[in-house]
Structure 1
Amino acid sequence: MSTQKTVRQQFGSVEQSDALRLDEDKAEQIIDALNTDLANAYVLYHQIHKHHWNVEGAEFRDLHLFLQEAYENLEMGADMIAERAQAIGGVPIAGPANQEERATIEFEGEDVYDIRTSLENDMEAYGDIIEGMRDHIQLAANLGDPTTEHLLKEILTDIEEDAHHIEHYLEDDSLVLESSTH
């Protein structure tokens, strides 16, 4: 095993891509936005995964399966975001501590909550992510990067769909009846 360590590129630096021909200043702004989206995706990924592990109750199976789909969607989107940041000359944010620090959403913590509270926490995080991604889509458009704009729109579609499903789960209407004590 080699003991030599060579840093190829420092985090926060931008290498000009001759092939993509995106101005370095523009690339830097887009990479910054993408790293925020990447950090947010992984913070929410871990929270949703936690809920997947801990969900209980009459609707366990449906929620367990939905939450798995949701965290898989977040991971797939995060991978696409990271690869785009790298392609335009950046270094994707990778360390969990750095991701949590960089994220604009906050992980709810290690405690286990009832599923309604958990989903409400997820809904709040999704809303913040959606607003941020819309801003980043506009940023990419304004900076003349239609590829990043298109990529973020595709990812946003999945995020909005999952948020909408959570909204349905949080509705009061249910087939499960409240137990009564007569």
Structure 2
Amino acid sequence: MSTQKHVRQSADAIEENSLRIDTDRAEQIVDALNTELANAYVLYHQLKKHHWVVEGAEFLPLHEFTEEAYEHVEEGADVIAERAQALGGVPVSSPTVQERRATVEFEGEDVYDVRTMFEHDLEIYGEIIESMRDSIELADNLGDYATAEILREILVTLEEDAHHFEHYLEDDTLVLEEATH
């Protein structure tokens, strides 16, 4: 184990980057990206929780659906973190700091019925989608068209997954409920 303790870059510092985006603009964009990254990990952990605890007649398709959804979130988070680093920033990586930076809130440790869990997920998706649109506008306004495009691609996936959650929450179902007498 190395005994070297030299900090190469402070977590809140923005260094010059090879993308030719000045540090003042990069700082604003990295700040937005770190918020999106923090939001992504709150959603990721909530989806992972739902993947673990989902039960009922539709267990398998919902288990697989939540797995696909959290994988999409994690893939997007990775792209966001790498872009923050490319801009000279440090991606927020500590769970504690991510929770503090996030503008969305984890539902907690309790287990809810599937419909309630999915309603909570859809709410977070909606909040993240709105935030992502703001971050895209910020990047565009600051002349960082590549970051805006990267976020647009992630946004498409988020919107598609949110739409699928919305479908699951519809009233129509093939599962018959047992009549109670």
After TM superposition, the runs of 4+ consecutive aligned structure 1 residues lying more than 6 A away are: none
Query: Who is 1:68 aligned against?
Result: 67
CA distance in 2, matches of 1:84, 1:22: 12
Query: Who is 1:93 aligned against?
Result: 92
Query: Who is 2:49 aligned against?
Result: 50
Quick one: which amino acid aligns to residue 136 of structure 1? Answer: S
**Residue 57 of structure 1, CA deviation:** 0.8
CA distance in 1, matches of 2:157, 2:104: 18
- Alignment of 1:149 with 2:148, yes or no, is yes
Query: Who is 1:15 aligned against?
Result: 15
Instruction: Report SS of the residue matched to 1:50.
Output: helix
Question: Tell me, which stretches of 5 or more residues in structure 1 are unaligned?
Answer: none
CA distance in 2, matches of 1:35, 1:72: 19
CA distance in 2, matches of 1:72, 1:111: 22
**Residue 181 of structure 1, CA deviation:** 2.5
Give the TM-score taking structure 2 as reference length. 0.98
CA distance in 1, matches of 2:110, 2:69: 20
Query: Who is 1:171 aligned against?
Result: 170
Quick one: which amino acid aligns to residue 72 of structure 2? Answer: N
CA distance in 2, matches of 1:44, 1:142: 27
- Identity over the aligned pairs, expressed in percent? 68
Quick one: which amino acid aligns to residue 144 of structure 1? Answer: G
**Residue 4 of structure 1, CA deviation:** 1.6
Match runs of 1:120-159 below 5 Å: 120-159=119-158
CA distance in 2, matches of 1:181, 1:67: 30
Quick one: which amino acid aligns to residue 66 of structure 2? Answer: L
Quick one: which amino acid aligns to residue 123 of structure 1? Answer: L
CA distance in 1, matches of 2:152, 2:2: 42
CA distance in 1, matches of 2:158, 2:38: 15
**Residue 177 of structure 1, CA deviation:** 1.6
RMSD of aligned C-alpha atoms? 0.7
Quick one: which amino acid aligns to residue 129 of structure 1? Answer: I
CA distance in 1, matches of 2:121, 2:94: 22
